[in-house]
Amino acid sequence: MRAALVIAGKDLRQRLRDRSAIVIGLVAPIAIAALMSLAFRGAETFHYTLGVVDDDHGPLATALGGVLHEPGLRQVVTTQSLPSAAAARTAVRDKTVGAALVVPTGFSAAAAAGHPAALTVVTGADNATAGSVTASIASSFVAQLNADRLSVATALAAGAPGSEAARLQSLATTLRLPLTTVDRSVGATPLKAVSYYSPGMAIFFLLFMISFTSRSYFVDRSQGMIERIRAAPVRPHEIVLGKALSVFAYGIVSLGIIALVTTAAFGADWGDPLAAGALCVALVVAVVTLATLVMAVARTQRQAEGISAVLVFGLALLGGNFVFLSAAPPIMRNLALGTPNGWALRGFTDLATLGGGLRTVAVPIAAILSFSAVAGGLSALLATKAVRS
């Protein structure tokens, strides 16, 4: 055991002396997670300024103004009065407002007289969302006007006598749309981008350990280091254990520091510490077994570099470390669950949104450990075969 610890200590010292280990293990993941959270902050909180042109000055325009200031909409829309439709177009083009809504002259009077006019939504090509939200608000507003007119027309078409029209009309104005919506809470905290990308980037750079470790093994071998260690009373499995321990320690420390820094500096939510810790341990175990697998499969340093590079980027791409997987089509979300890093990200996502502790991450941890068991078993099998031959 002592020999294993000595080997682990030597590997760690060697790793830390090359500054790229610190860049890859700490600086890069934190910097990239910070950049991502900065960029996505705007996308998470959708808000726009709506230019409103009131050429009507009638009761309907006032009612529409009331709708725009309803509490639910307040965090999505801020209104700004604009003098004319032309000014609205200019403001949208100059991006001083996200979209504009024009209530034309005589809108209220025309609706009362039975010749309703159109509300105009001015949209810009760069803020399609603002345009569609404005259109939704406007069409929700005109729905009641139209419903009342359509009700009278349908009743008349269904056989109500024409002499009844006036009575039906006044009756219709008291109607309320029979189909309404009622807000229900999700019962979970929506996922923040930073809570996804912090573990995402930490895991991506952790995967690089597969390359470093397998590479260092072949460098050691080519320098005759392994033979020299074997000349001492050190058993082969202690060498393997030593290498594995150094990867393990480096991985846990790197994930731990990134978790602390991103939580403190950017408000990332890694969830319950115990559960997050267990998830990290499982993941580092998976990385260790993958590194041994590469060592067992590769014959030369070049091969080890090639195989691990493909493995690292393949896993990162499939597992969702680069793209916000939740936004991806279902097939890609399922593919991600074929990778240990994909399961880990699913675990961190659930910890940050659904909450809970070890129970929340039980399935992801089990999946990652089964993956590790397969990779570890396979490399043991290959290693024994190599020793025999």
Does 132 bind other proteins (CB under 8 A)? Our answer is yes
Nearest distance from C-beta of residue 384 to other proteins, angstroms: 28
User: Applying CB under 8 A, which of residues 59, 63, 80, 150 lies at the interface with other proteins?
Assistant: 150
Residue among 166, 188, 381, 386 that touches other proteins (CB under 8 A): 188
Long-range contacts of 39-48 (CB under 8 A, 24+ apart): 40/193, 40/194, 40/197, 41/193, 43/193, 44/192, 44/193, 46/76, 46/129, 47/75, 47/76, 47/77, 47/78, 48/76, 48/77, 48/78, 48/97, 48/98, 48/99, 48/127, 48/129, 48/130, 48/133
Of the ranges 28-36, 234-242, 253-261, 264-272, which one interacts with other proteins (CB under 8 A)? 28-36
Q: One symbol per residue from 214 to 253: x for binding other proteins (CB under 8 A), - otherwise; what is it?
A: ----------------------------------------
CB of 243 to other proteins, least distance (A): 18
Q: Is 112 in the site for other proteins (CB under 8 A)?
A: no
172 versus 378: smaller Cβ distance to other proteins: 172
Counting contacts by CB under 8 A, is residue 115 touching other proteins?
Answer: yes
Transcribe 260-329 into DSSP letters: HHHHHHH------HHHHHHHHHHHHHHHHHHHHHHHHH-SSHHHHHHHHHHHHHHHHHHHTSSS-GGGS-
Among 2, 19, 299, 359, binds other proteins (CB under 8 A): 19
For residues 59-96, one letter each, b for 16 or more C-beta atoms within 10 angstroms of the residue's C-beta and e for the rest, the string is: ebbeebeeebeeeeeeeebebeebeebeebbbbbeeee
From 2-10, 163-171, 248-256, 259-267, span contacting other proteins (CB under 8 A)? 163-171
**Position 145 contacts other proteins (CB under 8 A):** yes
Tokens representing 381 are 């099998």
Find the binding residues for other proteins in span 267-296 (CB under 8 A): none
Contact between 20 and other proteins (CB under 8 A)? yes
Q: Which is nearer to other proteins, 71 or 233 (CB)?
A: 71
